[in-house]
Structure 1
Amino acid sequence: MEFDVRTRTLDDLAPVDAVGFHESVLPELLELRSDLASRAFVASGLRGITVGVGDAAWHWSLGDRGRLEVTPGDPGEGVSVRVSPEWFSDIVNDVRSTVALMIADEADMVRGNITHVVSWEPVLRALTDGRAAYEPGLVGFTDPDGGDLDLDRVFTLDDDPADVAHFLDQAGYAHFRQVFAPEEMQDLSLEIDRWRSEMSPVDERAWYAAIGDERVCVRVTNLGPEAVRFPHEERLAPIAAMVGGERRYRGSDLLVKPVGVTSGISDLPWHKDCALGGHSYRCRGLTCGVSVTPSGEDNGRLGVVAGSHRVNIPLFDLSDGLDLPVRWLDTEVGDVTVHLSCVLHCATPPVHSERRVTYSDFPLPGDAAVDRTIRAVRDQAGRETYSPA
């Protein structure tokens, strides 16, 4: 089981010169990981893409033998994008991603569109980090005995931790029933309201959304371990311990998902928590969602793409051709959902009644400076656009 898939540390973070990378580093990477990168390029659906930085450009394509080739210049066909030296360095370093580039709107698209650039990034990651790109049939699901894994299984705290860890490793998510009592959820709901009452639109911890002409606080974020008057750490730590890795509770976000949001962020579309960058430094983090209210089709719920953490899927690839199963986690009051940071997940909007949930992070141990760097990367996207959590 692989819950720590980090391939970089802060010591690996150094400026990347585009010319030096293409002339010196890339040939060695092509020797090392040509098969993986060539398969990733086929999976991307690109015929070719030219990446320009400064006065130079390089064309990525498949050669006559179906192998990835990178040659100087722009042939004048296929996708072509120009980025600044700073963006190129950050993308290669996995500090900022092509999704972050899209949000910042700082790509100069000569030909094609930004989704093509996002499709190219898994090719780069295959080369630099040995990370496999998604291909149909690549991911399967087996139970500890080698049979088919029941992706709808619901756990309790009394289940064998080895079974939980195996399921989470295979599927990328888990659902625990009745971890908290209804009375505890009433207390937590009051605590959510207490924090919301203290927020204002200028507080960077608060996310606001509009319901008609009214703006309401729908999320209070980045609350430290001691901030919330509720035993998140004490009660969720046993779940985090089931997957090992000496994870420590970092804090919680408090969410209210009202009916009828007309603008602003309330329910996030399909995303990975590492979508803006930093997968190779931080994944796989663990997030526990406490169901303060029930969740379901009527009031919104968590959706997950099983196994999506095991391959690199571009953000725009949740399509009819994706052969990974989607699961919708309907919860009762006091249930807990768990998802890994690099599993594709979303939240559906409530239709008839409000949903309340808290999300608590249990990251892998690591350099605090890395965490600060990646948090800055996320913040640069802006809460008014897209910030995965």
Structure 2
Amino acid sequence: MWERKVLTVLLIVNLAITPGCWSKKELNELAVVMALGIDTHENGYAVSAQVLNSSETGSKKGGSMGSLPVVTYKSVGKTIPDALQRMLSMAPRMPYLSHVRVLVFGEDLARLGVSDVLDYISRNHQLRTDFFMLVAKNGKASDILEVVTPFEYVPANSLYSSILISQKKWAATGKVTLQQFVTELKRSGSDPVLSGVQLNGSLAEAQSLENVKQISPSTLLQHTGLGVFKGDRLVGWLGEPPSKAVNYVLNRVDNTAGYISCPDGGIVGFAVNRADTSLDVTLNSKGIPEFSAELEIEADVNAVQCPIDISQPAVIDELEKDIEDKYNTNISKHIGLVQQRYGSDVFGFGEVLHRKYPDVWKKYRDHWGESFKTMNIRVDADVAIRRIGSIIQPINQKVDEP
């Protein structure tokens, strides 16, 4: 009996000294930040915060006051937290960063280096690590966050969704999170990449709700390939074909499309529905590393615009070989382009060497950027065509009359 009384007393005491929701924050006290933009400034950093306008998000027709679903606040500070604090002179609520979907760097800042920014971003306990990071190509991050977008009512959600779908179906962009970027930045023998985004149209028109009330919006956001980093600094840009090559080597291609030329004119289109890449390294007779990238690709024929008989196994075999040759040629060419132009190992070949031959890696790690330019890299693609579609012969194929 006495044990029960003691337990009761302990429970009462425990309840008395245990705080309740000591860290609670009411929604009407917070400015929920959906996207952050960071640019360089002569006085430090220019920070843009796209804040959810909670009073307007409940209506798809512009809200009770006819305003937009988000508000973008801008401020300047010596550090990122300093700029966010200064934002309180304009924003009526405390910025809340736990729901950030997208972080955009201005190109000028990215070329100077993003380590100092990432220090704050990684250190802040509010920020999660699953948001996507982008670079504003040829522009400022603040401009990107001022564009009113179609389909998604909140522009940050539009950016987030467009990265997902373009990376999955197009293969020329990349969904890079904070954790992934920092891992590649700190890992020995690799350099990171980030997707680029730019304005396609006029900024003045992009800021108005009228922009998305047209059948053809005057201004849209457009993803523009990959930005190549060397360490924490942006050193250049890759167009669509080399960006796809990088993603193939990094094993980040889910689906995409391509085509090859027919011997007698015309083209055959194909859709990639699986792509796996494995990297390896061997040492030649002189002890110099030689790398290989082996691709296994499954594809479907989705367009035949030349007179071939794809019902014949020999024709399918020839198509597979032609596609393999195209992959081997193009990916080898674009790997060489990155090697010679940037000396940046965005493919992670140095990490492969580090894992397999750690003693050899020690000879190269201090000057890997220069050594990488001279490394021999072989590409070997193995393509299997799985399906040829609902019809066999091309529609324009001539039929032999009896």
Q: TM-score range by the shorter chain?
A: under 0.3
Q: TM-score, normalised by structure 2?
A: 0.20
Higher RCO (CA < 8 A, seq sep 6+): 1
Which structure shows the higher helix fraction? 2
Q: TM-score, normalised by structure 1?
A: 0.21
Which structure shows the higher strand fraction? 2
